[in-house]
Amino acid sequence: MLDCRGPRLPRVLHWGRPLLRASDADLSALALASLPATVPNSLDTPASVAVVPESATGWFGLPGVLGHRDGRHWSPLFETEHVGVHDRGAGEGGEVAVLASDAGCGLSLELRLDLTAGGVLRMRAVLRNTAPGWYTLDGLVMALPVPAEATELLDFTGRWSRERDPQRRAFSAGAHVRDGRRGRTGSDASFILVAGEKGFGFRSGQVWGVHVGWSGNHRTYAERLPTGDSVVGGGELLQSGEVRLAPGVSYETPWVYAAHGDGLDEMAARFHRLVRSGRSDRRPVIVNTWEAVYFDHDLGRLTALVDAAAEVGAERFVLDDGWFRGRRDDRAGLGDWFVDETRWPEGLHPLVERVRARGMDFGLWVEPEMVNPDSDLARAHPDWIMATECRQPPPVRHQQVLDLRRQEAYDYILERLDTLVREYRIAFLKWDHNRDLVDAGVHEQTRAVYRLMDELRARHPGLEIESCSSGGARVDLGILERTDRVWASDCIDGTERQAIQRWTALLLPPELIGSHVGSARAHTTGRTQSLALRAGTALFGHFGIEWDLTAASGEERAELRRWVQLYKRMRGWLHRGLVVRADHPDPALWLHGIVSADRDQALFSVVAMATGARTQPGRVRIPGLDPHRRYRVRPLAPGDSPGTTAVAPNPWLAEGVVVTGQMLAEVGLSAPPLHPEQLLLLHITKA
């Protein structure tokens, strides 16, 4: 609910639970009871914060616009000139467009606030220089107020192979600012910043979450003033002097997304509905070669892997790093996007033909934004390496960044990718990005990457792209406007992936999260885990395999084939269903699942993440189903044999049990005792 009275920029009066029975009179009364719609004549009069906060109104928090014109005009005060409202109809959301200006500062501001049908608010601003002379813009953020009941904050940190690691703290006076300066979203990105009621969880407590849909430097923040006024917000993080607006030139912010929920699950469901809109639900089973062969590209070995992949039921074969000129390790070759003639004298055609003959489509790994100094490209065009005027950044993984702001570099990469996709009829690109951008202004680089992906997709409408960035370091709604899934992490250890996928799904529906079954001994952690844990974890994402199947036993391949068959049988409704996480008192026991859109069935997973605090785990409540229907709950093969336990399993596991949805949610079922890193699948069907 926006207050657009008077000359001020719009203020948010309500952002939370739907006002289902609110009349125009109710809303008018609420507006009249709110803070004044005019600029206060004195700072003794309280000021309500606008969606672009303004210091000139008496707001002492972070200003929405940071900038100046040669040291002047650093505190604009915008006056609204026009408000346009587009109501899409009942339940379909609507849009408000605002045009405002500050004639004295020579700036105009366009705001767009779009409420989607699923209840996600997305906001964007355009700042234009309307006066002679340059205007230096140092930042433009948008903010939303949160009520005093929001007393806790949740956001995320992380590192390579441990992305989206949650952290909680009190929402106290002052600013909690999370700046991402890595030139990409980052393994340690705040991801979503959530303010919520004390003790909020997946199924309880009101929460208000914001996400900045941008793949470059970004800022997310929560701020509480001594007055009690509190906001959450964010935007792009600009380097000083990175954006200078000539007369008539404008800057457009990325989308800032916001959603409310009664519990994190409801908030996530709103984001999922938005992200799913207009997307294909085709999610073929992938076999990726990285952990199977690494750089050892041998046609005979890869052909055997193709045959093994087809045997277990794979539908897509992705050739990872190592196929292009000079690439024997990570020290050379990036930028030389030509098939290596010494390894592949006939090109990739023999491998691709074998892949298609076995009923699979073909995908390829690329890292178009990077270049090795040891490459023909870098030797021919050293000026294409992104650098300051006086030096190059320190190398990371023996590579530098290709400056796609340069039209020649952009054209070269577009031509190479276009040629490869056409020649080999590539269905899928695993698009990697394996280093942070150091010592660089990345605003234009990020936009160039977006244009590159958009142009490639326009030339090849059926092409799918995965966002991979040292694993999960580029997971945001900006990159997902032009990609089809993300690689959540290079770690496919089942235990680590349970956590990574649990929190990544706060923003993304599971089918957009690439999740692969690795070898028994995880390459990134050294843990040895059962196939049930590895495959049962991958089942709740976009299922794939990253394992040298030629070295797997016949029994392992047969069991894996059963998991693939299960995924294929259920993915149609899993990929449209409602994600549910249960809050259990013992943090060692996790329960999560997906309920079909019609609530006729559900698939849940009970996972022992560690040794439990008690011998018996007790009851687990299973929420999300129709409370009035009766359901049959059964263990589901092949995830029905978690392994030998110290205590005999509960009798109901053998035959299943029929109970109402209300009983499952309010009373629950006794969980079987599980050893750490064991998993049990439960299939719930309408009785």
Q: What is the mean pLDDT of each run of 10 residues along the chain (687 residues)?
A: 91 89 73 62 68 94 96 96 90 92 98 96 98 97 97 98 98 97 97 97 97 98 95 97 97 98 98 95 96 97 98 98 97 98 97 98 98 98 92 93 97 98 98 93 96 98 97 98 98 98 98 98 97 98 98 97 98 97 92 98 97 86 97 94 54 84 96 92 97
- Residue of 340, 361, 476, 490 marked active site: 490
What residues contact residue 577 under an 8 Å CB cut-off, 6+ apart? Answer: 594, 595, 596, 597, 602
DSSP letter for each residue of 160-227: TTEEEEEEEEE--SEEEEEEE-SSSS-TT----EEEESTT--SSSSEEEEEEEE-SSSEEEEEEE-TT
Token pair for residue 129? Answer: 């220089």
Residue 505's SS3 state is coil
What residues contact residue 111 under an 8 Å CB cut-off, 6+ apart? Answer: 9, 10, 51, 52, 96, 97, 98, 100, 123, 124, 125
Helix, strand, coil abundance in the chain, percent, nearest 5: 20, 30, 45
What residues contact residue 362 under an 8 Å CB cut-off, 6+ apart? Answer: 316, 317, 318, 319, 352, 355, 356, 424, 425, 426, 427, 428
> Residue 482 gets which letter from DSSP?
S
Side-by-side strand order, sheet with 630-635: 578-582, 589-595, 601-608, 678-686, 630-635, 657-660
- Residue of 265, 432, 484, 583 marked active site: 432
Kindly report the pTM of this predicted structure. 0.96
What residues contact residue 174 under an 8 Å CB cut-off, 6+ apart? Answer: 223, 224
Residues in the chain: 687
What residues contact residue 239 under an 8 Å CB cut-off, 6+ apart? Answer: 217, 441, 442, 443
Residues annotated as binding site for substrate? 160, 320-321, 397, 430-434, 468, 490
Query: What are residue 422's DSSP bridge partners?
Result: none
Question: Among candidates 147, 98, 144, which has minimal Cα distance to 122?
Answer: 144
Distance (Å, rounded) from C-alpha 597 to C-alpha 574? 9
pLDDT number for residue 28:
73
Residues annotated as binding site? 160, 320-321, 397, 430-434, 468, 490
Query: Any catalytic annotation for residue 626?
Result: no
What is the pairing mode between strands 255-262 and 589-595?
unpaired
Do residues 580 and 623 touch, judged by C-beta distance below 8 A? yes
Could you give the C-alpha distances from 56 to 4, 73, 77, 203, 260, in angstroms and in order? 18, 11, 6, 40, 29
Residue 547's SS3 state is coil
What domains can be seen in the chain, in order of their start residue? 2-274 (2.70.98.60), 488-570 (no CATH), 580-686 (2.60.40.1180)
Residue 427's SS3 state is coil
Do residues 430 and 393 touch, judged by C-beta distance below 8 A? no
pLDDT number for residue 640:
87
Burial 359-371 (b: 16+ CB within 10 A, else e): ebbbbbbbbbbbb
Residue 607's SS3 state is strand
Distance (Å, rounded) from C-alpha 518 to C-alpha 492? 6
pLDDT number for residue 35:
61
pLDDT number for residue 45:
59
Distance (Å, rounded) from C-alpha 220 to C-alpha 211? 8
Query: Any catalytic annotation for residue 281?
Result: no
